[in-house]
Amino acid sequence: TTVETSAPTGPEPPPPVRDWPACDLDGTGFDPVLAQLMREGPLTRIRLPFGEGWAWLATRYQDVKLITNDPRFGRADVTRRQVTRLAPNFAPRPGSLAWTDQPDHNRLRKAVAGAFTVSAMKRLRPRAQRILDELVDGIVRDGPPADLVERVLEPFPLTVVSEVMGVPPADREQVHFWTRRIISTSGGAEAAEQAKTGLYGWIRTIVRARAHSIPGKDGEDVYTLLGAAVTRGEISEEEAVGLAGPLQIGGEAVTHNCGQMLYLLLTRPELMRRMRDRPEARGPVYDELLRYIPHRSTVGLARIALEDVEIAGHRIAEGEPVYVSYLAANRDPDVFPDPDGIHPDRDPNPHLAFGNGPHFCTGAVLARLQTEVLVGTLLDRLPGLRLAVPADEVRWRHQTMIRGPRTLPVTW
C-alpha cells in the first residue's frame, strides 16, 4: 500500500491512495482488500494494476445508488483516457452501451429493448428449458461423474443468447467457437484478438443481411431489430456492431455466476435442503445468492465527474474518475442486516447485483431466467447431486474479470 499526498480537493483531506492488486481469489470468499477499503471510509482512493493515476471508490449502498444514477458522472470520457483499471487492454468500440452517455445511450438501448422485454423472455422460457433438458439428457446418458462447467454452464448460456440474438443455426458452431476463444483465459491474447476480428466481422455481415427484415414479422431477435434500426437511420452500422458484440458475449456472466451459485448450494447442505424442500419458494433464495456472490474481481467500469460533486464529505473534482462497487453495496449493513450471512428469507432484498441507473444490466431478466432454469432443473432432475471432489479441490478461474469455478465435477 502506498500513500500519495496531493493538494486537498474537498472539505475533508483526501484519503490515501491504496494499491488494489489483482488477487486470484479461490472459492466464494469476499475480497479482503475490498473489505478493508469498506472499513476505511465511505469514499476511498484506489490504484488498479493498469492504466494511469488513481480513482475514487464508493462502497456504501446510498453513494453507489447516487453515483450510478447521476448524470454528473459520465462514461464516454473514460474512453478518451487511461483511467486506472484491472484490464491490461482497453479498446472500447463505438456503439457499446457501457461507454455511452445520454442521449445516445437511450437511442442505442431502444434499438434492442424489444428483444429483452419481460414478455419476450416469457416466450423464450420454453425454448431455454428445452435447451437445458437436452444438456441434462446428455450427462444422464453418459452417467456420473460430469463437469458441470463443460457440459451445462458453458453451452447453455451460449445457446440461449444465440436464440435471443437470432444467430442462424448453421452459424452457431462458429459463433460459439469465437465467443469461447474471446472469454477463455487459456488460448492466449492473440487467439482472443483473432476471434474478436472474426466475430465482429460476422456480426457486420448478419446486420447487413437483416437490413430489410421486418421486426415482428421476420422475428424479434436482436440482429433483426438492429438491421431494421440501421435501415431506419436510428443507429449507424458501426454502432449496431458495437452494440451487438457485448450482448453476444454477455452470456459468460451467467456461466460464472451460476457456477458460484451451484458451488454455494453444493457446499451448504442446509441451503440445498431449503431449495429442495420448498421448490415453490426458490425465488428469494436466487436473489439472496445474487446479492451474496462476489461476481467480479475488483471493480468494473469507471465514470468521470463532469463537474465538481460533493459526496460523503469529499469533493470529487471535475475530470476525476470514480468507481462504484456493487459487491460492497450488497454488503452494506445499513441495508442488509448480517450482510456476510446468507439468509434465504431476506426481505426486502434490494440488491444491486445487476447494477443501477441507466447502465443497469441489459441482460438482467435474461440472466435471471437462465439462472432459474439452469439451477432449478439440475436440482429437480438430479436429486442426489453432489460434488465429486472435496470442496477445496474445486479449481477456480484466475486472472479474469469475472470469478467462478474452472470446473465443477459432480456426481449424483
Rounded to whole angstroms, what are the CA distances from 180 to 91, 111, 158, 186, 307?
19, 26, 9, 10, 40
CB 311 within 8 A of CB 67: yes
Q: How far is the CB of 248 from ligand HEM (least distance, A)?
A: 8
Scanning 250-325, the segments in alpha helix (DSSP H) are 252-267, 269-277, 283-292
Closer residue to ligand HEM, CB minimum distance, 17 or 247: 247
Q: If you search the block for the grid coordinates 431506419, which residue do you land on?
A: 232
Long-range contacts from 36-45, C-beta under 8 angstroms, 24+ separation: 37/325, 37/328, 38/328, 38/331, 40/15, 41/15, 41/312, 42/312, 43/15, 43/311, 43/312, 43/313, 43/314, 44/15, 44/18, 45/4, 45/14, 45/15, 45/16, 45/17, 45/18
Q: How far is the CB of 143 from ligand HEM (least distance, A)?
A: 30
Closer residue to ligand HEM, CB minimum distance, 14 or 131: 131
Closer residue to ligand HEM, CB minimum distance, 14 or 250: 250
Q: How far is the CB of 141 from ligand HEM (least distance, A)?
A: 28
Closer residue to ligand HEM, CB minimum distance, 230 or 247: 247
* Distance between CA atoms of residues 316 and 45, nearest Å: 11
Instruction: Give the residue nearest to ligand HEM (CB).
Output: 363
Q: How far is the CB of 13 from ligand HEM (least distance, A)?
A: 29
Residues that bind ligand HEM (CB under 6 A): 68, 97-98, 161, 246-247, 250-251, 253-254, 257, 295, 300-301, 326, 353-355, 359, 361-363, 366-367
CB 95 within 8 A of CB 243: yes
Q: How far is the CB of 74 from ligand HEM (least distance, A)?
A: 12
Closer residue to ligand HEM, CB minimum distance, 14 or 263: 263
